[in-house]
Amino acid sequence: MTTAVTAPERAGSAPDGTPVHRWVLERAGTRVAVLDYGGILQSVEVPDRDGVRADVVLGFDDVAGYVDCPSPYFGALIGRYANRIAGGAFTLDGRTYRLPRNNGTNCLHGGERGFDKRVWDAEPAADGHGVRLSLVSPDGEEGFPGRLAVSATYALDAAGALRIEYRAVTDAPTVVNLTNHSYWNLGGAGSGRAGGHRLRIAAGHVTPLDGDSVPTGPPAPVAGTRFDFREPREVGSGYDHNFVLDHGTSGASVAAELYDPVSGRVLTVTTTEPGIQLYTGDAFDAGPFGPCEGIALETQHFPDSPNRPDFPSTVLRPGEEFRSVTTYGFGTADDRA
């Protein structure tokens, strides 16, 4: 089956009045809606073990919902820097850059007006199977150096898996860390808490955090702790932590698998990124959704990497290209141990 890429339809307006459009992709039983506002993954509809489809990401029916409820970052494309930069500052090549402190003393998810609040240019992907979003972040935006040209292509493969490919180039040294911030509930959005899902993460280490969710030292082993998801178990609650994936920076590999025993739906996350942030949404009460109704699995580099030379580097220089690929595969199972 070829991909059906529906012509973009008007979906509302950004706060400044810029029109926002929705792109719908459909292939092999998966239907996805993407907004050019914030690069938001608005919906992902996939079948359960009985063939009944449901939307498995949390979100809103219109743009106004995202504008009115921005802080949980529902489905958004995050940049320039996903996660936290401690103290809202970093030093690169001997120069210190000051960023917005929009999360206590930290800069979170790109600052006050990150990529999640921008209207992206959108066009059909070159291969005809998706939509390509692009924007230019000017030098100094939210305090980050360099003119950064970014693209993110959302596409469905022949098996109905959603592939997001991020690319970026810069004209001056800078730092880049991009991700998608969808909250998954495989029972269907609005079906209740997702803590009963079973999760496996291919990570033998986690970055220990202080009270401000900033890493305090080198990665720590997960063995014997509540962070050990190397074998599938119920997610529960109380997580907003970066897991150090076993594959490191060696290439694409399975990072996590999430399973809902009620619906039978399975989500498999494959990524080229070295880390994945597990966030169980304990703190938010956003619109129709309460705490722990969705599970975020954010593939990315580690928090505060610009200030941690011992972490995989997030520095991008002129003449280089940032490239990252994450794939979300969907399936079903009658039982998973």
Distance CA 277, CA 112 (A): 21
Q: Is 298 a catalytic residue?
A: yes
Q: Is 181 a catalytic residue?
A: yes
Give alpha helix (H) positions in the chain: 63-68
Q: Which two tokens stand for residue 33?
A: 């809606």
Distance CA 180, CA 200 (A): 19
Distance CA 48, CA 54 (A): 8
Q: What angle do CA 31, 133, 20 make, to 5 degrees?
A: 75
Choose, from 21, 181, 241, 247, the residue flagged as catalytic: 181
Q: Which two tokens stand for residue 334?
A: 């009658």
Strand partners for 25: 5, 32
Q: Which two tokens stand for residue 293?
A: 């109704």
Choose, from 45, 141, 165, 298, the residue flagged as catalytic: 298
Distance CA 104, CA 107 (A): 8
Q: Which two tokens stand for residue 92?
A: 């690169």
| Residues classed as catalytic | 181, 298
